[in-house]
């Protein structure tokens, strides 16, 4: 059978693509060229603003200014501190809110990962979930259930030849499918031939 796209199915596909597009432009990680980064706060240099175990989502910006809290790459890891001066070409001057002195690093725009966007207190444990074997099993199970439910949706079902109505087998007998004729051929059952091998019973008197 031909597979036609119904309006409902087209609408569901468009909605799915829209959700994927929204996710990519907002939450996709920088590792796959998205705008977001997920930073786990560790240490006490930002006490009063963040605490160890906080999760900070950052977003890339066209430019950064004094006062912005930014995450940037340093040798051996990442740091999230506040900009206190400098510029993106010669390097920003940064400092932790709980530190008495500026940082020794001078990150440029190429080193900056992004500016603070969302702060989730004590939610850094989310980043460690993929390392848990139980999480991998649960995720695989949920994906399997979603696939099965998706295939069972009404607009995904297709009639098989066995599911077609019985009258569909007689469509070829309709007049409109026989060019040049006004009527469909009539089915006449063939006469039953006599069974010559059957014994002849005597006639009752």
Q: Which helix (H) or strand (E) holds 15?
A: helix 7-26
Same domain, residue pair 46 and 76: yes
Query: Is-contact 46 80, C-beta < 8 A?
Result: yes
Burial of 107 (0-12, 13-18, 19+ CB in 10 A): buried
Question: Looking at the domain assignment, is residue 180 inside a domain?
Answer: no
Question: Looking at the domain assignment, is residue 128 inside a domain?
Answer: yes
Same domain, residue pair 53 and 70: yes
What is d(CA 113, CA 61) in angstroms, rounded to the nearest whole number?
Answer: 9
Same domain, residue pair 50 and 93: yes
**Residue 159 — pLDDT band, cuts 50, 70, 90?**
very low
Same domain, residue pair 109 and 133: no
What is d(CA 50, CA 70) in angstroms, rounded to the nearest whole number?
Answer: 13
Per-residue pLDDT, 121: 94
Same domain, residue pair 128 and 115: no
Q: Which helix (H) or strand (E) holds 168?
A: none
Handedness of CA 60, 62, 68, 70 (dihedral sign): positive
Question: Looking at the domain assignment, is residue 77 inside a domain?
Answer: yes
**Tokens linked to 135:** 């999480």
Strand partners, 112: 72
Q: Share the mean pLDDT of the chain.
A: 76
Query: Is-contact 108 88, C-beta < 8 A?
Result: yes
Per-residue pLDDT, 189: 55
**Tokens linked to 203:** 């006639």
Same domain, residue pair 69 and 140: no
Same domain, residue pair 142 and 77: no
What is d(CA 68, CA 58) in angstroms, rounded to the nearest whole number?
Answer: 11
Q: Diameter of the chain by CA atoms?
A: 132
Average of pLDDT values for 128-135? 70
Same domain, residue pair 41 and 58: yes
Domain CATH number, residue 44: 2.10.109.10
Residues near 19 by beta carbon (within 8 Å), at least 6 away in sequence? none
Residue where one domain finishes, among candidates 74, 102, 122: 122
Query: Is-contact 38 127, C-beta < 8 A?
Result: yes
Same domain, residue pair 88 and 132: no
Same domain, residue pair 136 and 71: no
**Residue 205 — pLDDT band, cuts 50, 70, 90?**
very low
Q: What is the pLDDT of residues 49-103, one digit of tens each?
A: 999 999 999 999 999 999 999 999 998 889 999 999 999 999 999 999 999 999 9
Number of domains in the chain: 2
Query: Is-contact 27 34, C-beta < 8 A?
Result: yes
Q: What is the pLDDT of residues 25-45, one digit of tens each?
A: 676 777 777 778 899 999 999
Per-residue pLDDT, 35: 78
Same domain, residue pair 114 and 128: no
Q: What is the pLDDT of residues 178-199, one digit of tens each?
A: 555 555 555 555 555 555 555 5
- Segments forming the whole domain that contains residue 45: 35-122
Judged by phi (left if over 0) then psi (alpha if -120 to 50, else beta), residue 135 lies in alpha
Residues near 88 by beta carbon (within 8 Å), at least 6 away in sequence? 63, 64, 108, 109, 112
Question: Looking at the domain assignment, is residue 88 inside a domain?
Answer: yes
Question: Looking at the domain assignment, is residue 83 inside a domain?
Answer: yes
């Amino acid at each position: 059978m031909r597979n036609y796209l119904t309006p409902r199915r087209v609408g569901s596909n468009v909605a799915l693509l829209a959700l994927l597009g929204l996710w990519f432009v907002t939450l996709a990680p920088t590792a796959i060229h998205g705008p977001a980064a997920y930073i786990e706060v560790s240490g006490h240099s930002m006490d009063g603003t963040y605490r160890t175990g906080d999760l900070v989502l950052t977003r890339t910006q066209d430019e950064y200014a004094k006062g912005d809290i930014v995450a940037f790459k340093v040798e051996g890891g990442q740091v999230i501190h506040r900009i206190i001066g400098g510029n993106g070409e010669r390097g920003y001057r940064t400092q932790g809110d709980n530190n008495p002195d500026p940082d020794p690093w001078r990150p440029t725009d190429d080193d900056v990962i992004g500016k603070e966007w969302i702060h989730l207190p004590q939610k850094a444990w989310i980043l460690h979930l993929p390392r848990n074997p139980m999480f991998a099993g649960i995720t695989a199970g949920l994906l399997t259930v979603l696939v099965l439910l998706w295939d069972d949706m009404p607009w995904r079902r297709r009639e098989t030849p066995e599911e077609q109505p019985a009258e569909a087998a007689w469509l070829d007998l309709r007049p409109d499918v026989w060019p040049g004729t006004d009527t469909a051929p009539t089915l006449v059952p063939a006469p039953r031939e006599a069974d010559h091998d059957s014994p002849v019973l005597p006639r009752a008197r």
